[in-house]
Structure 1
Amino acid sequence: MSLLSEAVLSGASAAEIASAPLPEEYLALHLRAEDVTMFDDVTDKDVRKSLRLGHVPLPELAPDEVLVAVMASSVNYNTVWSAMFEPMPSFRYLKQVAKQGGWAERHNLPYHVIGSDCAGVIVRTGSGVRRWKVGDHAVVSPAYVDDQDPATHADGMLGSDQKAWGFETNFGALAEYTVVRATQLIPKPAHLTWEEAASNPLCAGTAYRMLVSDRGARMKQGDVVLIWGAAGGLGGYAIQFVRNGGGIPVAVVGSERKAEAVRALGCEVVINRHELGITDDLADDPKQVIQAGVSLGKLVKERVGREPDIVFEHIGRSTFGISVFVARRGGTVVTCGSSAGYQHTFDNRYLWMRLKKIVGSHIANLQEQWDANKLFELGHIVPTMSAVYPLAEAAQGCRLVQTNQQIGKIAVLCMAPHTGLGVTDPELRERIGEDRLNPLRGFTPGPGAN
């Protein structure tokens, strides 16, 4: 263990952390460029085979960046995409970043440190960083934006050089250290542990923008919101934002176990998609898509009184045609991803003739992230963490996400030696309550269970 790591873990002062020497290398979960063809002609692209745990050189900081000691991270589906080298090898993204020149050239390396969620301690700041200092506890937004792009100042997600940190950039968070821009930093909620806090930024920020932001579906009190994949990382936060905003969440899940999980989050209306005959190949038959949409619409109307005002989409190919059909007249389908496939087909008559809207949404800008974080600080929204893996076994956690065996989020301990650390407001934590803060804990198998 390096002297800097020892200082962080011992609770040393900011001055002591700042004076501890930087290590030359650090432990990181990463991909190697030489492996990009390993899954050619392979059906099961098992990410445990491509993800490597080993030491990589510590990069130098740019003036607008900070070095964070990563206490905990979490697994997102973009990590799975990276490890499968889909939709294209992430090393192409790193080359694109490097074309900007200057400090961006550091990203183009034969290894890619991945991971887009982080909670940790700032241990160094670049010369241009003003609002953050060594010793601060922070979580990290995955939106990596160019603050010199005019469009960024209208909305950080509109900038032409906006990237998903740890997916389209290097030096991600599934590691002992990570490098982030100061424009990605958010205060860590003081009552949360490192692993709880690390489970939130990407999925919670994304769900917030999709539903609450004026750039998303603009959910109102009383809106009925149909949530696909409701037991996953995005879905668990969507349920909470809908309930907190006075809406009515309707969860679609794939098993009774997942139904139990979304009920633990307070969702009263739960539909098992298998009861509707929704399969991955359904999208190939337009008649079956409409039939499934009719059946789903009837179920929703029976249980809540009307069709969905908003459909929360991130599944993609197998569900998108149903989503367009089932949204009420004048309703909205908001989408942020396509885990089941990018090529969507739908009957356009039900879009144009019923005046519906499709809204594309991606991550969240920094203000939206801070607004979502405030709800965590107040205890109105809680983590959806269901299991915690050590960094040494993070690849297995990624495999669970790849095979859709997880519920909520899987956290990863990076530098933190065990769970339960990082709480600096125990009084607030006690007022909120452990059960309230961990509604999904134990729903996903932990290390050694598989």
Structure 2
Amino acid sequence: MTPGLLVAAPRSSSGKTTVTLALMRALRRRGLRVQGAKCGPDYIDPAFHQAATGAPSVNLDSFAMPDALLDGVADLAMTDADLVVAEGSMGLFDGIVAQEGVTGANADIAARYGWPVILVLDVSGSAQSAAAVALGCAAYDPRIRIAGVILNKVASARHRRLVEAGLSRIGMPVLGALMRDAGLSLPERHLGLVQARETGDLDARLDRLADLAEAGIDLDAVLAAAASTGLPGGPTALPRPPGQRIAVASDAAFSFLYPHLEIGWRRAGAELVAFSPLADEAPGSDCDACWLPGGYPELHAGTLATAQGFLDGLRAFAKDKPVHGECGGYMVLGRSLEDAEGVTHPMAGLLPVETSYRARRLHLGYRVATLVAGCVLGEAGARLVGHEFHYASELTDAPAREIALAEATDAEGVPRGLAGHRDGHVTGSFFHLISG
């Protein structure tokens, strides 16, 4: 089976993405077919993985994906690849409170597929004490194996010697180091990194990261650390498409569609037809379903409000064909969107929703939704799992049951009330669908 490894860290903001992209690009330079994966519900990093490797990346989520879907997506990752490089999210063991193996933590993925962990240590505020952190990670979960560490934000040669002295005391291999360099950071905005498609000098940045990896990381040791992927051997599945020919909004305002959905729909024989609302394009009349992914409509609200071809075409499409919007797409399906400056922009008016980005408040976490009525997402009572990550708020009251999309809980079963809206063929909610 295709070998793989997991790049993880004890906590967020340790440099996982930087190290992952550096490894991907450097190993691709060697002629290897590198396949990226991202642990957990992240839709920005996989686009950077694709830019670094030339192949679509996928998400692997032990909480949101049932076993058959999780293994189906992992199998996708191994297809036509020489190596799978998975990137963790948050800290290595961070997840929900649940039984072992379904917490959504990076460690679940490493354990399920037998992937050794390369631990990224941000040593900017420590020296020998970094070894204690690495030792704790190595001992915390007997299901996983830490193959070695890569040091990040090293201040000097002397600093590196001190850190390595501590690591040598616990017998932890150091596979490389990256020096402290503010120029390595990718640009960010409120949901994380600026999208890959908006990072104009991305190729140059990736090449620079590869140069640093070749100079500072033992790539041969990294390759030697990878282990053959062990699929459990049960049934596998991929997501079912919402139609045969699906119009998918795709531009700087609409881009957060999980790769496994897109790949799964295509594998099932569906055709995805991209259109750009920002270019005033409407969903094609020859399509039988329309999907408005999340993204950054709040940054383009003025343009969307005046895109009459898009809005009129969307309204006409929705008269007799299903339209679904998630997060940003949900906001655009509503009556209005208030931007950060307090300017209210009219939207499609297909759902009785008014949203605002002016008073920012973080909404974050898994959502388990039970559909109130049948729709393009499934039959009444169907269970969906998704994730919310946005700063916008609804100005309108919570929906009545007769127009609500679903009844929702968080990952631990705490009720979240009625979520989303439906009206005729149109549905939408703030959560991004992962499985259902």
- With the shorter chain as reference, the TM-score category is under 0.3
TM-score scaled by structure 1? 0.26
Richer in strand (by share): 2
Of the two structures, which has the highest relative contact order with CA contacts closer than 8 Å and spacing of 6 or more? 1
Rg larger in 1 or in 2?
2
